[in-house]
Structure 1
Amino acid sequence: MKSLSWNARGLGNPRGIRALHDLVKKEGPDIMFLQETKVSSRIMDRVKYQVGLHNCLTVDCEGRSGGLSLLWRQEVELTIKSFSKHHIDAEVKDSDNKGWWQVTGLYRHPETSRREETWDLMRSLSRGAHERWLVMGDFNEITSRMEKKGGKDRAELQMESFRRIIDDCTLIDLGSEGTSFTWWNSREGVNAIHERLDRALANNAWCRAFPYAKVFHTIAAYSDHNPIVLQTEGCVQKFKGQKPFMFEAVWTESEECAKVIEKAWQVHCGDGPIGEVVNKISRCSGRLLRWNKASFGTV
């Protein structure tokens, strides 16, 4: 199954609709979560037929801002659980007979002073340890300075707040392939700013059900955000002839485990192969924290 999330920055004109149509044709998503549609449900009811995703729930925009839509193919079994102007929560049955799982499309409030409201919303939607939960969308925040290039440094307190909500909800960043950033301020040279604002997070139960899931940063015309595409299956062939990277809990018994992780985080990774290693270690350390909490009740 393939899911797509995109901050479209408005779909109320032919150019925006054409960009969306081209994106759906290129990626072929089964489920698509759109943010900042800036249109009403009446307009999205027309758009969904134009792009070939006939099922749709839309949260109307307010004035000329906001607006969310979740679209899915007719053959996909999906039930809406709740929605607001900052989220759409649903339950979906996987096409590969792996049962039901939960998916939340999230759009964090763009005003810094009100962003904690979105984190409180995430906490209220958080699932139990045995429920498979995926969260995708535009979080309007970064977890570290490595996720930003150009402009003023992000306040450490803001990034720490984001890292804390990920930990509170026992979620793991699924990483990405493709471009390093998902948003660009459309300026060049020294005035250019790039940030990784869009991402996919999942809990351990979801990761165990979909061990070969991959997230890709793709491109689309029109918006200043890159879409993110999540493919749950179909990536296993990339590991043909070699085993995929897997973290073994028994490694934590070694005295060197914490030292290796700490040393790896001190590496300046950039966008090269070392960055991929650090990315894997990041995911593993997240799983290690969850494993310690589940086993001992502490970190």
Structure 2
Amino acid sequence: MSCLSWNCRGLGNPQTIRALYDLIKDHKPSFVFLIETISVASKIEELRVLFGFEFCFSVDRGGRGGGLAVLWKGPLQCQISGYSQHHIDVVFLENNVESWRLSCYYGHPERTRRRESWALICKLASISVLPWWIWGDFNDLMNVEDKKGRSQYHQYLFDGFSKTIHDCNLSELPLGGGKFTWERSRGTKAWVREKLDRGFAFASWWKKFPLHDLKIMHTSVSDHEPLVLDLFKVNMSKKAFRFRFENMWLKEPEFTKEVSDIWSTLPPIHLLSKLLEVSSFMARWGRTFFHKFREK
């Protein structure tokens, strides 16, 4: 199952619709979350038909901006369990029984309202004991590494968001395909890049989906990059994973460093993925080392 999230900055531009169509065609998501649609429900219904989805739900914009929408396909079973202008809460069912939960989230863009955003995250975290995942445009940063550029960002904002994530017992999903998801003034001295779009989850969700894979996609029609999540990402074959471990590898400094780096990039609860990543690396290392050893 694949999911797509994108702050598209409005759906009134034909280029945006085309870019969204191409994303859906390429990645075939079963579930799509759109942020800042700046559209009414009738427009979302048109897109549902255009993109071939069976179901949709939208929250109309408030004022001049905003607007949220989710679209999904059968046989995926979803129930909308709550919503506001800053989130849509979805419960996923398996065999008509509640199985896990997703909060599609849009944080307040105004810095003066960040505490409202943090309070909403805490509220959503406390609603249910189901395995939970929250993703979207948080409009927030956790540390200085999430930002590159000259514009100032206050420490209390870093601290407030980081404390919220910690207090809610959330772990961040590793993000591939790049470091930043939003940019402004590219090619100028005022160029700013930030990691605003991301995902977090409870330990119970990680346990349910240990092979998930979250990546940044690229498009030129919005200042935000789309995110695509594969819940079951497995790229392996029996042939690719047949290898014999050689003690001689342990004498190579690069080998132990690479294994250590791979192991430490994922949380302890992500054990199956850690083992698969290390095994995949060892298989590649073995093939390369064999050729180098034969040449020597």
TM-score (norm 1): 0.78
User: Offset at 1:98?
Assistant: 11
Describe the SS at the equivalent of 1:152: coil
Which residue number in structure 2 is paired with residue 234 of structure 1? Answer: 233
Describe the SS at the equivalent of 1:24: helix
User: Offset at 1:23?
Assistant: 1.2
Which residue number in structure 2 is paired with residue 215 of structure 1? Answer: 214
Which residue number in structure 2 is paired with residue 79 of structure 1? Answer: 79
- CA gap of 1:94–1:167, structure 2 versus 1, over 3 A, is farther
Show the 5 A alignment for 1:136-285.
136-235=135-234, 237=236, 241=241, 277=261, 281=264, 283-284=266-267
User: Offset at 1:108?
Assistant: 0.1
| CA distance in structure 2 between the partners assigned to 1:204 and 1:242 by the alignment | 31
Describe the SS at the equivalent of 1:166: helix
Which residue number in structure 2 is paired with residue 269 of structure 1? Answer: none
Structure 2 unpaired stretches of 5+: 244-256, 271-296
Which residue number in structure 2 is paired with residue 61 of structure 1? Answer: 61
Structure 1 unpaired stretches of 5+: 244-272, 288-299
| CA distance in structure 1 between the partners assigned to 2:103 and 2:129 by the alignment | 16
- CA gap of 1:238–1:231, structure 2 versus 1, over 3 A, is farther
Please say if residues 3 and 230 of structure 1, whose CA atoms lie closer than 8 Å, have aligned partners that are also in contact: yes
- CA gap of 1:46–1:128, structure 2 versus 1, over 3 A, is closer
Please say if residues 9 and 36 of structure 1, whose CA atoms lie closer than 8 Å, have aligned partners that are also in contact: yes
User: Offset at 1:147?
Assistant: 1.2
Deviation sequence 1:161-198 (CA, Å, 0-9, x none): 11111111111001111011100114214221111100
Instruction: Tell me the matched-pair count.
Output: 255
Which residue number in structure 2 is paired with residue 52 of structure 1? Answer: 52
Q: CA RMSD in A?
A: 2.8
Which residue number in structure 1 is paired with residue 99 of structure 2? Answer: 100
Describe the SS at the equivalent of 2:189: helix
Q: What amino acid sits opposite 2:165 in the alignment? A: I
Which residue number in structure 2 is paired with residue 4 of structure 1? Answer: 4
Q: What amino acid sits opposite 1:25 in the alignment? A: K
Deviation sequence 1:90-118 (CA, Å, 0-9, x none): 101369x9971000000001011012112
| Largest Rg, 1 or 2 | 2
User: Offset at 1:153?
Assistant: 4.1
Q: What is the aligned-residue identity percentage?
A: 34
Describe the SS at the equivalent of 1:190: coil
Q: What amino acid sits opposite 2:184 in the alignment? A: N
